[in-house]
Amino acid sequence: MSLESFFSPKSVSVVGASRHKGKVGHEILASLLAGGYPGEVFPVNPKVEEVLGLKCYPDLVSIGKPPELVVIVVPAEFVEAVIRECGKVGSKSVVIITAGFKETGERGRALEEAVVKAARANGIKIIGPNCLGVMSPGDKLNASFGGDLPRVGGIAYLSQSGALMTAILDMAAARDIGFSLLLSIGNKADVDELEIIKALGQRPGTKVIAGYLESIQDGDAFVRQAEIISQNKPILLMKSGGTGAGARAASSHTGSLAGSETAYEVIFDRAGIIRCDSIKTQFDYAQAFADQPIPKGPNVAVLTNAGGPGIMTADAIERSGLTFAALTDETKSALSKVLPPAANIHNPVDVLGDALADRYEAAMNIVLDDPNVHSVVVLLTPQAMTQCSETARIVVKVAGAKPGKTVLACFMGGRKVEEAIHILRRGAIPQYDSPESAVATLKAMQQYTRWLARPERVVRLFPVNRRKVEQIIGRHLRRGEREIGEMASKEILEAYGFVTPKGSLATTAEQAAAIADQLGYPVVLKIWSPDIIHKSDVGGVKVGINSAKQVMDAFDLMMYRIPKKMPNAEIMGVLVQEMCSAGKEVILGMHRDPRFGPLLMFGMGGITVEVLKDVAFYLAPITASEAKEMLIRTKTYSLLKGVRGDPGVDIDAVAEGLQRLSQLVTEFPEIKEMDINPFIVGPQGSTPIAVDARISVEKTD
């Protein structure tokens, strides 16, 4: 069933309509009428005969026909009965404004469950409860108590917080932002973000989907759907509840638990979702996506009547990783013909402080025609002769006449540019309060362009020994063991094509020396105990041992010291291992998020990983280019590539390690968590070694 009855219904009933100003049941009806809703409106309230000049019905049945949309504002304990009545008359779409459900605790949760059950039994869809309602400016539908209907525009907004929506509406009014829809989704008892973005993806009037979410119900399905929609419409999301404190606030707020921050970042990446960290940035971006074409490339030209702001913009472009466009000779010569000799005909093009609108017009036309230019930022400062409003009109006109390139404006100032800014925004030219905001917006657009052009996802499959891993994991699970020790972990890794250091276990010093002699020196000794996770923390790793004598000494020392430090640890012996030649230590890992699945991690290994937190995550299964992208995202990437004479490491070998890990955790959902730390990588052409590994497993259902 589509959601169109929520967005453009032919008739609306407000159940719980009230004559008392200030009551929600009154405000909703008043909003509906004030917005000029052209369809039929049926107030329902058994205690009154007339509200706001409309005949009031005692119940839905008395209306005599089913309202297409029913808005419920009666107290929580009566809602279920109204839903049954909707079922009786045949109304299928219901917005429940009423609060006092899941968000208030157990009793509310039970009420909400009963409401949903009644709705499902009658084939009814619910938005809410505990929400602000629905606004569809194009249909003149304001079934909410959020305020006046905004202008019609290309942005659809969905918000899990009703209060935030009122702030957005107020800001939108001040900034002339238009909407195709505004939805407050409240507790998401029935219709959730997934169903809504699906519907918005298909709505012709919606060019951009923006939203504020505290949680995402079905992570996996959401990613898949968002990935499809992002192909045609950008999705801009603010997501809260990420930090520990935020997550607690979210759970008391709407009664939903937020997923972990990392998981969201990872899935947003995959699905092309543009993450915004404030309402301001969200609308900075949304306006540009709604009103301007996305840039075809990274080259930005700047047009200005003042040197300083031009340089500020140039700096912001450099910092953001966008390209400062190099203008062609034809452009420069054309500019020199229309601009005074003192003007700068290179990017940033300076039309000078005495420029009138006509000079902007001439220069803008020329710059937009330059094939090296993908987007233009038009700057203006209100100097003595500046024609602010006239220039704004010119910018709107020229940009309109040359579609295909992105034009953003930054008219700086306050009162003197107020009218001009209004003209720009009404003319579909996004206007920014600073060059940095304009450039950040271009950057977000460019990232989206890149996402659209991403290569097709082809996941490489390596020939592996799957059965072997099945056996090892099965054995552990049958015994109820959740941690797979170092030896068995290495067998698993080897089955998936990783190389691990040679070595075996010794229970006496003599045996250890014999193994070392066989391996050849130097060797490494490591304590072997299922109860010791971080061996070096307890003095359980000794590297660079060069003789049988040293082996025996090290063995005795470990056997003497470690039981003192860890009296309860069961010590099985010592692992004698060949010593890998020097290389860089990186970590490859995986954490399985309960909602979104296996999150792969890459970072610099050893103890620094916890301190520096210089890691990158990606959702498995990954492609070769995504694996490489994970490396590139870390700051340590430049170290891996090599700096100042250091040859660097075999990047592709690390990326292959990540892909093998990706395959392992994709094929074995029993693996909940794992680390390969360190994964020692050497120069080009060398084989990386998985020196240490931890795997924990869990039964899957």
* Interface characters, 563-602, with ligand ADP (x: CB under 6 A): --------------x-xx----x-----------------
Among the listed residues 524, 574, 640, 665, the single contact to ligand ADP using CB under 6 A: 524
Q: Which of residues 654-693 bind ligand ADP (CB under 6 A)?
A: 678, 691-692
Backbone angles phi, psi at 525, to 5 degrees: -110, 135
Tell me the closest approach of the beta carbon of residue 579 to ligand ADP, in angstroms: 4
* Nearest to ligand ADP of 188, 535 (CB atom): 535
Site string for ligand ADP, 484-503 (x = CB under 6 A): -----------------x--
- The reply on whether position 18 binds ligand ADP by CB under 6 A is no
39: alpha, beta or left? (left if phi > 0; alpha if psi -120 to 50): beta
Give yes or no for a contact between 171 and 146, defined as CB atoms under 8 angstroms apart: no
Size of the site for ligand ADP (CB under 6 A): 16
Calpha distance 447→134 (Å, rounded): 31
291-306: burial string, b at 16+ Cβ within 10 Å, e else: bbebbeebbbbbbbbb
Q: How far from 629 is each of 268, 519, 615, 684, CA to CA, in Å?
A: 15, 37, 12, 18
Dihedral sign of CA atoms 256, 260, 263, 268 in order: positive
SS3 103: helix
**Nearest-angstrom CA–CA distance, 69 and 71:** 7
Interacting partner of 536 out of ligand ADP, Mg ion, none (Cβ under 5 to 8 A depending on kind): ligand ADP
208-213 and 235-239 beta bridge pairing: parallel
The binder of ligand ADP chosen from 249, 459, 543, 653 (CB under 6 A): 543
Helix (H, G, I), strand (E, B) or coil at 647: coil
Eight-class DSSP state of 91: -
- Identify residue 507 by its one-letter amino acid code: T
Q: How many residues bind Mg ion (CB under 5 A)?
A: 2
Which one of residues 179, 233, 692, 695 is an interface residue with Mg ion (CB under 5 A)?
692
Comparing CB distances to Mg ion, the nearer of 405 and 526 is 526
Alpha-helix runs per DSSP H in 321-429: 329-338, 357-369, 388-401, 415-426
606 binds, among ligand ADP, Mg ion, none (CB under 5 to 8 A by kind): ligand ADP
Residues in the chain: 701
526 binds, among Mg ion, ligand ADP, none (CB under 5 to 8 A by kind): ligand ADP
Q: Which is nearer to ligand ADP, 327 or 538 (CB)?
A: 538
524 binds, among ligand ADP, Mg ion, none (CB under 5 to 8 A by kind): ligand ADP
Span of 2-10, 300-308, 422-430, 531-539 interacting with ligand ADP by CB under 6 A = 531-539
Of 434-442, 492-500, 593-601, 692-700, which part binds Mg ion (CB under 5 A)? 692-700
649 binds, among ligand ADP, Mg ion, none (CB under 5 to 8 A by kind): none
Q: Does 281 bind Mg ion (CB under 5 A)?
A: no
Q: Are 331 and 364 in contact (CB under 8 A)?
A: no
What's the CA gap between 9 and 40, in Å, rounded?
9
- Sole window of 115-123, 365-373, 533-541, 646-654 interacting with ligand ADP (rule: CB under 6 A): 533-541
C-alpha distances (whole Å) from 621 to each of 456, 597, 667 are 14, 10, 10
Q: How far is the CB of 677 from Mg ion (least distance, A)?
A: 4
Say which entry of Mg ion, ligand ADP, none residue 534 contacts (CB below 5 to 8 A, set by partner kind).
ligand ADP
Region of residue 234 (left: phi > 0; alpha: psi -120 to 50; beta: else):
beta
Cis bond upstream, residue 67 (ω within 30): no
Cβ proximity to ligand ADP: between 629 and 673 the closer is: 673
What would the DSSP string read from start to end of 158-199? EES-HHHHHHHHHHHHHTT-EEEEEEE-TT-SSS-HHHHHHH
Among 203, 233, 535, 628, binds ligand ADP (CB under 6 A): 535
- Segment contacting Mg ion by CB under 5 A, of 289-297, 494-502, 547-555, 690-698: 690-698
526 binds ligand ADP (CB under 6 A): yes
Question: Considering beta carbons, is residue 623 or 677 the nearer one to Mg ion?
Answer: 677
Please pick, from the candidates 228, 541, 566, 653, the single residue that binds ligand ADP as defined by CB under 6 A. 541
The helix (H) or strand (E) run that includes residue 157 is strand 151-159
Residue closest to 517 by CA, chosen among 541, 549, 473: 549
What DSSP state is assigned to residue 530? T
Candidates 254, 389, 659, 677: give the one binding Mg ion (CB under 5 A): 677
| Nearest approach, Cβ of residue 592 and ligand ADP (Å) | 21
Beta strands in 315-442 (DSSP E): 323-324, 349-350, 375-380, 406-411
486 near Mg ion, judged by CB under 5 A? no
Does residue 536 interact with ligand ADP by CB under 6 A? yes
Q: Which residues bind Mg ion (CB under 5 A)?
A: 677, 692
Q: Which residues bind ligand ADP (CB under 6 A)?
A: 501, 524, 526, 534-536, 541, 543, 577, 579-580, 585, 606, 678, 691-692
